[in-house]
Amino acid sequence: MTRLNKQGLTRRALLSRAVAAGALAVAGPGFIAAPDAAWAVEVTAISEHQMATLLQMARDIYPHDRVGDRFYAVAIKSYDVTEQKDMVAEGIAALDEAAKKAGFDTYIAAGWEDDRVAILRSIQDTPFFQTVRGGLVTGLYNQKDIWPIFGYEGESFSQGGYIDRGFDDIDWL
């Protein structure tokens, strides 16, 4: 099982493992893991339920079906610190409360994305939601390892730019 430390230099460790598929599971005290055990996130300051909820929230806020859970895990790992503990606890309690009003036991108990998104919409103006969403903008999309999934090629100077590598290679116009 891959361990993630609190400082969060987590990506390499996570990515050294096979691609995770399927939903997250609370895998036992101290960490949550993918069902196929391909990777795991250690939780230290917050609870497993809170971490699993944050992960599902991240997926529902910025759903990309070709982006594996492990990237979302990296993006929200920084909430697992003492300074964020209360904010996370309160935010997730409110989220689960909103889920109850909508007829679900908890937020992650709602099986369809549409139902979860409706719950998120009901809390989207709260500082908790905005903090999580705002953090994901860089936490998720600035991970170099997800860029190829979107086709983005990143740095090009070291390869001499695109002058000889297809800056004008469009062929379907």
Partner 1 sequence: MATAAKFELTDDSVVVIVGTGAGGGVLANELAQKGVKVVALEAGGRYLPEDYVNDEWESFGQLAWTDPRTTSGDWRVAKDFSGLPAWIVKAVGGTSIHWAGASLRFQDHEWKALSTYGPVEGASLLDWPLDAAEMAPWYDKAEAKLGVTGVGGRARLPGSNNYKVFEKGALAVGYKEVHTGNMAINSADYDGRMACQQTGFCFQGCKWGAKWSTAYTDIPRGEATGNLEVRDHAHVARILHDDSGKVTGVEYFDKDGNLQMQKARLVAVAGNSFESPRLLLNSHSSMFPDGLANSSGQVGRNYMRHTTGSVYATFEQPVKMWRGTTMAGIIRDEARHDPSRGFVGGYELETLSLGLPFMAAFLDPGGWGREFTTALDSYANMAGMWIVGEDMPQTENRVTLSDTTDKFGLKVANVNFSDHPNDVAMRNHAYKQGQAIYKAVGATRTLPTPPYPSTHNLGTNRMSERREDGVVDRNGRAHDVPNLFVSDGSQFTTGAAENPTLTIVALAIRQADHIAREMAAGNV
Footprint of partner 1 (CB under 8 A): 60-64, 66, 117, 124, 133, 137-138, 140-142, 147, 150-157, 160-163, 165-170, 172-173
- CA dist 173 and 170 (Å) reads 7
139: left (phi over 0), alpha (psi -120 to 50) or beta: alpha
CB of 71 to partner 1, least distance (A): 13
CB of 162 to partner 1, least distance (A): 4
CB of 12 to partner 1, least distance (A): 18
Nearer to partner 1, 83 or 164 (CB): 164
Nearer to partner 1, 47 or 126 (CB): 126
| Structural contact between residues 35 and 23, judged by C-beta atoms closer than 8 angstroms | yes
| Structural contact between residues 84 and 45, judged by C-beta atoms closer than 8 angstroms | yes
Nearer to partner 1, 100 or 133 (CB): 133
Residue type, 105: D
Nearer to partner 1, 31 or 129 (CB): 129
User: Within 10 Å of residue 8's Cβ, how many Cβ atoms?
Assistant: 12
